[in-house]
Structures are given as C-alpha cells and as structure tokens.
C-alpha cells in the first residue's frame, strides 16, 4: 500500500513537472475583409497595416495592397472598437469572413483527434489528412525503402530548435545523353507554419509522382528527364508550434535580441533586396525581416543547399491562401526580363489547374498581383541564382476558411495543383512538348 501511494506521488510529481502544452485561444477573434475603394482609403489601410498593427495585435491574413483589392485581417476582441472607428473615420466598411475563430480552430482539432484515433487502427499515412511533423518525417524516411533507386533523402540541415529539415530527391540517375546534369526542379512547402495545406499538397505531389511513375506517360517522362527536389516542411519549428501551441503561428521560432517577440518571417529573410518594401523591422510584426539577411538557420540551410544544386531550372515556393500563381518580382513592379516566358508558363499551368475542378487562379508578377514584398525566396532564386522559372503559389481558398482549410479540400487541392505542376515540369524540359 505504502509503495503504491509512493509510486502515485512520484508519478504525480513527474506529471506536474512535464508542462502540458496549452493552446493559444482565439475566442471572439474575427477575420474581417476590407476592400479600399479610393486611393485615400488605400493609404488609410496602409496606415492601419504599418502603424497600428503591433500595438493592436492585428494579424494580416492577406496584406492590404491596392484600390479594389481585398485585405483580410484577424482582429482580437480587444482591438475591435479601435478597428471599427479607424475604418469608419476613413469611410471604409468591412465584412466578417470568420465570426469566431476559436470555433473553427476547435472544429479542426476535434476532426484531427478523430483522424488520429482512426490511424491507430492502422490506416497508415493518408494524403487526405493533415499530419504532424513526426509523421511526415517518418513517411519521408520510408520512401527510399519503397522506391529504391528512385528516392534519396536529403538532410538539408537543422532548425533553430534542432529539428531535421528533410527533403527528398526523385531521380532515375545521371543523364546519359549529355554531360550536363538534368534540369533540377525544386518544390518547397511549409515556409509559413500555419499554411497547413501547403505541406499537405507538396506531399500529395511527391506521392503521386512516385505512384504514377511507370504508368502515367507525363509523370514517367518528367521523372525520367528531371531531378526533382521536394521539401515538404521548410519551417519545421513553426509547424510543430502550430500543432502544439499556436495554430496561427507564421514565422520561425528563433528569439529576437531586445524583444520578447519570437521569430522571423523566412519569406522576408532571403538576401535579395532584403529589408526593403513589404517587410517589417519590428520583431513583433508577422513580416519581420530578421536582424540580417539569412539570419535564420533554416533560410541559410535551404539557400546553401539550393546554391549547390546543379542546373537548377525551376523553383516553387508553396503557400496559402488566395489562389494566386506568382512570378518575380516581389520587390519592384517593374517587369523582369523573362516576363513573357513567365506569363506563358503560368497561363498554361493555371489552365491545367482549372481543368480539374474549375478552380480559378489569378496570376502575374508578385508585386502587382498580390502586394510588394522583399527578401522573398523566389526573388532570390530568380535574381541571385538565375533560376528563370521561380514561382510562388498561394493555394486554396479565397478566404472562407483561410488557413483553416477543411480536410475535405486536401485531395482536390492536391490533384489540381499536381496538374499545374506537371505542366510546369513538362514546360521546362529541354525538348518542350507543351
């Protein structure tokens, strides 16, 4: 009896010492949509964005840009009256996209729980679910066993918190028709932690490329003729943090000197026009560009790896949401030298995407199609590595669920995006057939 009681006490002591992660709550947080109708309103919205965001705890799900273009912002209850009066002073109205974010977060969590219970009875890795980082890494590690001679694991580096940044390479081996390496095609997902549909879609693409190799003629051709590099989760620490603590986390998880705010936006941390337009110097802002270009161990690891890939011919950086297909530049509205080719590839790729379920995507250069940004991955691969076909895709949806895209949209998003990517893969082949 004494032993049992003592054991219980020891267990209780251990349990109390191990912190149970508590989830950040979003009770009463609303996501509002605001569309400026005049240039004066556009300026007022920029003022709200760049001068009142951190103080009011605003979180821009879709940054403000131009007259007639929507912007989405998460507003905590404490900031609601400030935002209301700010908008009415500028003669602007808003519509409610999400009335209570906490309800959506809880709905997602109970769905995840049910899916996890199902998996325990042996359903394995399912493409129609969102997965925790461990499950994704375990899945990747099995691929070279399942597809020997086709898949190799690429340990790109370690994150700030020491996690593996793991990519895979799909390749049938060296080209035997030329001395030049095959064209390399890179896709990464999960650079922004909360955009869960991004890793899910990248995993879909990876899986289908392997599953359809040898049966589908287009897949067989692109797999034979390209070296394909796939990194499903770029920002691993952030991704884990969205699962364990804060579903709305975006940035990395490295601390900032002189601030209690954590993290840098990895898509503002690349060394191309770093620290310029559409990025913040405030560590508490979601678009903090970091203390220096490539300050983040994750952006350093990925960029160092990209530099070493022979014949890198296409770079894809996958985000959500808004249904946009974006080409360089982000930092300037000026058209880059390859603008006609970019538009040609995007026209064909977006048409293939639409051909699956009729989903509409807008496309064009980042700066004018979404909003200006600097220090972005694709500007760096295009401008610094001369990767002509460097793109950023913003997946589903257009704002009904935003980052909380329901699981029943994972497979449709995967298959339409796969159609778009296959067209891009064929497009960059040396003997183009598209």
Q: From the list ligand 0X9, Zn ion, none, pick the one residue 108 interacts with, judged by a Cβ distance below 5 to 8 Å according to partner type.
A: none
Residue of 208, 225, 286, 394 marked catalytic: 394
Pairing of strands 312-320, 389-395: parallel
- At 272 the three-state DSSP class reads coil
Those residues whose C-beta lies under 8 Å from the C-beta of residue 344, and which sit 6 or more positions away, are none
Size of site (CB under 6 A) for ligand 0X9: 14
Name the residue nearer to Zn ion (CB basis): 29 or 319: 319
In angstroms, the Cα distances linking 258 to 182, 255, 281 are 47, 9, 13
Task: Go through the chain and tell me how many residues it has.
Answer: 434
Residue 64 Ramachandran class (φ > 0 left, ψ -120 to 50 alpha, else beta): beta
Residue 413 engages ligand 0X9 in binding (rule: CB under 6 A)? no
CB atoms within 10 A of CB 148: 9
- At 352 the three-state DSSP class reads helix
For the question of residue 394 being annotated catalytic, the response is: yes
Residue 58 engages ligand 0X9 in binding (rule: CB under 6 A)? no
Task: Tell me the CB-side half-sphere exposure of residue 250, using CA atoms within 13 A.
Answer: 21
* The binder of Zn ion chosen from 74, 192, 389, 396 (CB under 5 A): 192
Name the residue nearer to ligand 0X9 (CB basis): 64 or 330: 330
Draw the binding track, 386-405, toward ligand 0X9 (x: CB under 6 A; -: no contact).
Answer: ------x-x-----------
Name the residue nearer to Zn ion (CB basis): 29 or 268: 268
Judge contact between 141 and 168, C-beta under 8 A.
no
Binding part of the chain for Zn ion, among 49-57, 83-91, 185-193, 414-422 by CB under 5 A, reads 185-193
Pairing of strands 389-395, 362-365: unpaired
Residue list 301-360, contact with ligand 0X9 (CB under 6 A): 319, 326, 330
Judge contact between 296 and 159, C-beta under 8 A.
no
Minimum distance, C-beta of residue 28 to ligand 0X9, in the bound complex (Å): 23
Residue list 175-234, contact with ligand 0X9 (CB under 6 A): 192, 195
- At 233 the three-state DSSP class reads coil
Binding part of the chain for ligand 0X9, among 9-17, 126-134, 299-307, 376-384 by CB under 6 A, reads 376-384
Q: Which residues bind ligand 0X9 (CB under 6 A)?
A: 192, 195, 267, 319, 326, 330, 366, 370, 373, 376, 378-379, 392, 394
Instruction: Cite the active site residues.
Output: 394
């Amino acid at each position: 009896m004494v032993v049992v009681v003592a054991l219980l006490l020891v267990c209780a002591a251990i349990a109390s010492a191990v912190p149970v992660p508590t989830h950040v709550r979003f009770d009463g947080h609303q996501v509002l949509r605001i569309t400026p109708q005049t240039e004066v309103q556009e300026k007022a919205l920029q003022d709200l964005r760049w001068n009142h965001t951190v103080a009011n705890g605003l979180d821009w799900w879709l940054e403000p840009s131009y007259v007639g273009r929507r912007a989405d912002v998460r507003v905590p209850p404490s900031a609601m009256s400030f935002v209301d009066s700010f908008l009415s002073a500028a003669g602007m109205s808003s519509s409610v996209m999400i009335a209570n974010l906490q309800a959506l977060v809880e709905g997602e969590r109970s769905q995840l729980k049910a899916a996890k219970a199902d998996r325990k009875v042996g359903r394995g890795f399912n493409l129609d679910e969102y997965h925790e980082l461990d499950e994704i890494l375990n899945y990747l590690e099995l691929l070279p066993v399942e597809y020997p001679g086709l898949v190799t694991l690429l340990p790109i580096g370690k994150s700030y918190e020491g996690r593996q940044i793991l990519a895979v390479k799909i390749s049938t081996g060296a080209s035997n028709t030329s001395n030049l390496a095959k064209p390399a095609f890179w896709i990464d997902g999960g650079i922004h932690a909360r955009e869960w549909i991004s890793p899910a879609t990248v995993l879909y693409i990876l899986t289908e490329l392997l599953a359809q190799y040898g049966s589908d003629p287009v897949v067989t051709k692109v797999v034979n003729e390209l070296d394909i590099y796939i990194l499903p989760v770029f920002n691993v620490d952030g991704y884990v943090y969205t699962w364990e603590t804060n579903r709305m986390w975006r940035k990395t998880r490295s601390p900032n000197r002189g601030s209690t705010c954590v993290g840098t936006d990895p898509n503002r941390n690349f060394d191309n026009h770093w620290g310029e337009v559409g990025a913040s110097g405030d560590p508490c802002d979601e678009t903090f560009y970091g203390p220096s270009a490539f300050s983040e161990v994750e952006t350093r690891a990925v960029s160092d790896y990209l530099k070493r890939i022979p014949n890198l011919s296409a770079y894809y950086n996958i985000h959500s949401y808004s249904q946009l297909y974006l080409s360089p530049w982000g930092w300037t509205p000026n058209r880059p030298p390859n603008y006609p080719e970019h538009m040609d590839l995007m026209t064909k790729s977006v048409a293939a995407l639409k051909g699956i379920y009729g989903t509409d995507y807008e496309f064009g250069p980042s700066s004018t199609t979404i909003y200006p940004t600097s220090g972005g991955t694709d500007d760096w691969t295009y401008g610094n590595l001369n990767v002509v076909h460097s793109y950023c895709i913003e997946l589903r949806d257009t704002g009904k669920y935003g980052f909380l895209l329901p699981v029943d949209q994972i497979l449709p998003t995967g298959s339409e995006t796969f159609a778009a990517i296959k067209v891009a893969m064929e497009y960059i082949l040396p003997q183009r057939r598209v």
